[in-house]
Structure 1
């Protein structure tokens, strides 16, 4: 496929992913009594990072297209030796061998064998990029996998995960915008209540000052020495309104922890090459601070094959601070 066609396909794929993310959640009808709905984060086409990635991909493809078959074969072998399997973009073994495939009149046995060995690594790297929400890198790796074998069973799963991941980012942005709008409304109401109380206190003081003082009746002169005058009782000061307490910031509920870092476990190389699939279910204990305090396996099939990767990964998960500790259950599915 020419470089311009591949770049166009990538751009269309990015646009499709953003459209799926935007349509993943129906808009709620605004409540007339509650006032206008807060503004939500809406995708406005490819981001600057995605545009830069597309431009870099076009430049890399143009540079690779200018290399001869022998140069591509030599650079591919060197990239393999230096463990540049699928990254960085434009200078890795997969892209050299894919370009070699496209430029060769007949299949190159060494390049085809290398691509077969490299594709599982690219699939795992794409899933890890999705886990850390690096969708630009995930999309680049997905394109490499599709160029290598458009019929691989993992490809639909990667595409679906990218679309769902983008939709999740948009949904979280909308929720945060709604929470910020709610906090702003509460602050405005508190300020208005304080102003109303201050105005009421001022009006009461002005009304009291405007009342005429009653005249004191005259008293006859005393026939005995006058007693010293007693001081007038002091009036207690008017109570000042209590200060309005600022609204407390929202905290995640212990019944619904919100993850801030939750990478997915890697597929063990031996299990992937052997075609072994399975599932691992874990129980995760989370402190109020958001740190994972304990991870225990409740079910593993086949036992011991994927346990280590799941435990090592989940122990490093982090969640938003909560109002108390929480325990959740997660199931990880491994399919080659």
Structure 2
């Protein structure tokens, strides 16, 4: 059943900014801001004009997450979609950056950033009347990125579109007709092949063979039980990724891993489970590995309710120099060693 809904044409901005700077002996610096958007029947407001992300000196495998909270104070249910627009004519960095959006333990989207510049709306599910929803955004710099990505940047806008079912008594001057948004992405019917795990020093390296078919991301799940369902990470790289290392694991625990493909908001079947116990030290209080979240397994998406309302804007900016950071660090250590040897020579 199609409904006529009123278009709320309000636009707000989120600045999603990641900056990679060429600084000597610098360590990664993070200045992110969780943002809140509150919508009523006539307006939407945001908690801050600060950027959602602002990173400096990041390196391959660097992962950062921030949250946007949407509060729907309207008397109707709303749907949320997002669209990305690239602001640069030349941009190779986006091919090694992946972005994921997770809400209610559901992976609404994950994939290579460049694939999102398709001028299409991607669903983030529904928000019930007089309730709120948290969307966790994670950006990841590929573990396999090479030196060709030094000192380059990218810039893009994120446009959040809310649609809410208003059913006005007097038809508005501008109307749209739409169905309830749902996950329209084709579901992969395959999983990665030859999935295996190698034990390392307090880490595990997972390897697999890329399957044939259309998909945008892999999701790795793991835990300390045979179901491998305690933590999940939908942001480990794009379709060409065939290896990933999970760090921060304790050597006294057998870990279980599995992997699945996903296409936008549609997850595919899991592979078989593999188990391995890392080498190294026993960690008294092991932390959750970077990028993993409890219960995020790429659950099947539910069909959202009809709706409509405002739009929100976002931006990201990057620049990087991790190769020279390593070179400068090595030179610094050599200089310290020379100073120590000269000191020893003159003293003795």
Shorter-chain TM-score: which interval?
Answer: under 0.3
TM-score by length of 2: 0.22
Determine which structure has more spread, i.e. the larger CA radius of gyration.
Answer: 1
Q: Which has the higher contact order (CA 8 A, sep 6+)?
A: 2
TM-score by length of 1: 0.22
More strand as a share of residues: 2
